[in-house]
Amino acid sequence: MTGSFEGRTALVTGAAHGFGRAIALAFAARGARVVACDILGDGVAETAEMAGASCEALCLDITDHGGVGQALADLMTRHGGVDILVNCAGGVLGQVGRPIEEISPADWTAIVAVNLSGAFYLSQAVAPGMKANGWGRIVNISSGAGLGISLTGIQAYASAKAGQIGLTRQLAHELGAFGITVNNVAPGFVRSNPTTERQWQAMGKDGQKKLVESIALKRLGSPDDIANAVLFFASEEAGWISGQVLSVDGGK
């Protein structure tokens, strides 16, 4: 069903590790030209090397509106634009849960910028090319925190991911007339990067057991589980699906 993306160019942000890396590798394995994007230059270069010749690395700060515009203009020149955009970059930027009165404006703004504003900037940059082509796929990676609460209690993270879900629905209606679908994947807890690994260890054995027992399938997922959902949304078979949020969390 999601077998081939030959002739398509896919831009994947947050591709230096975790979900983004798995998504970039999955598209490359299925014939897409992949632009693996991240602010972590070494990590995204490693992803491109793992993916092979059809994947290139792009070191980019997605919170820099001007830089995003310049990078997309270059991609337009070299590849004729972007067919598939996966907004995967995000995270908590090393922050931990604290009482609301302890949160500085800078802490709040930083998380909102990378989880919400960056997705907006990239979507804004690719939209003209997708409109011109009459076809496009935008897939945002939010979180169970955007549908409920943050397990770590980080107010900005839950808010930004909820905002990203709202952006998904809004853009689906704005861009649908141009043959562009916009959907959202909301992962459950997956040990996919150094941050989630620290969160897992901090839970202790009792907390880990409690978390797994709360999942219908009684196991944690993997980055490939998230990549598979993205591939579906990006496929031709999902052409009449837009504005949707798919929870990939093992069942709650």
Residue 34 pairs in a beta bridge with: 10, 55
Helix (H, G, I), strand (E, B) or coil at 15: coil
Q: What's residue 150's pLDDT?
A: 87
| Residue 173 burial (C-beta neighbours within 10 Å; 0-12, 13-18, 19+) | exposed
Question: What integer is the mean pLDDT of 190-206?
Answer: 89
By the 8 A CB rule, do 38 and 16 touch? yes
Q: What's residue 198's pLDDT?
A: 87
pLDDT 10s digits, 54-64 = 999 999 999 99
Lowest mean pLDDT: which of 90-99, 100-109, 110-119? Answer: 90-99
Banded model confidence at residue 2, pLDDT cuts 50, 70, 90:
low
Query: Does residue 23 fall inside a structural domain?
Result: yes
Query: Does residue 197 fall inside a structural domain?
Result: no
Residue 32 domain boundaries: 9-192+223-241
Question: What integer is the mean pLDDT of 44-56?
Answer: 98
Catalytic residue among 5, 27, 157, 189: 157
Question: What integer is the mean pLDDT of 60-83?
Answer: 96
Rounded CA-CA distance 106/95 in Å is 12
Query: Does residue 179 fall inside a structural domain?
Result: yes
The reply to whether 157 belongs to the active site is yes
Query: Does residue 37 fall inside a structural domain?
Result: yes
Query: Does residue 131 fall inside a structural domain?
Result: yes
Rounded CA-CA distance 83/237 in Å is 15
- What CATH number corresponds to the domain at position 15? 3.40.50.720
Among all chains, which residue has been given the structure tokens 């995003």?
Answer: 68
Q: What's residue 151's pLDDT?
A: 82
Q: Dump the DSSP string for 34-89.
A: EEEEES-HHHHHHHHHHH-TTEEEEE--TT-HHHHHHHHHHHHHHHSS-SEEEE--
Question: Per the structure block, which two tokens stand in for 216?
Answer: 């219908």
Question: What integer is the mean pLDDT of 42-67?
Answer: 98
Question: What integer is the mean pLDDT of 102-123?
Answer: 98
Query: Does residue 251 fall inside a structural domain?
Result: no
pLDDT 10s digits, 158-168 = 999 999 999 99
Query: Does residue 248 fall inside a structural domain?
Result: no
Q: How many domains does the chain have?
A: 1
**Alpha carbon distances (Å) from 56 to 92, 120, 163:** 26, 23, 30
Query: Does residue 200 fall inside a structural domain?
Result: no
Banded model confidence at residue 193, pLDDT cuts 50, 70, 90:
confident
Question: Is the pTM value of this prediction over 0.75?
Answer: yes
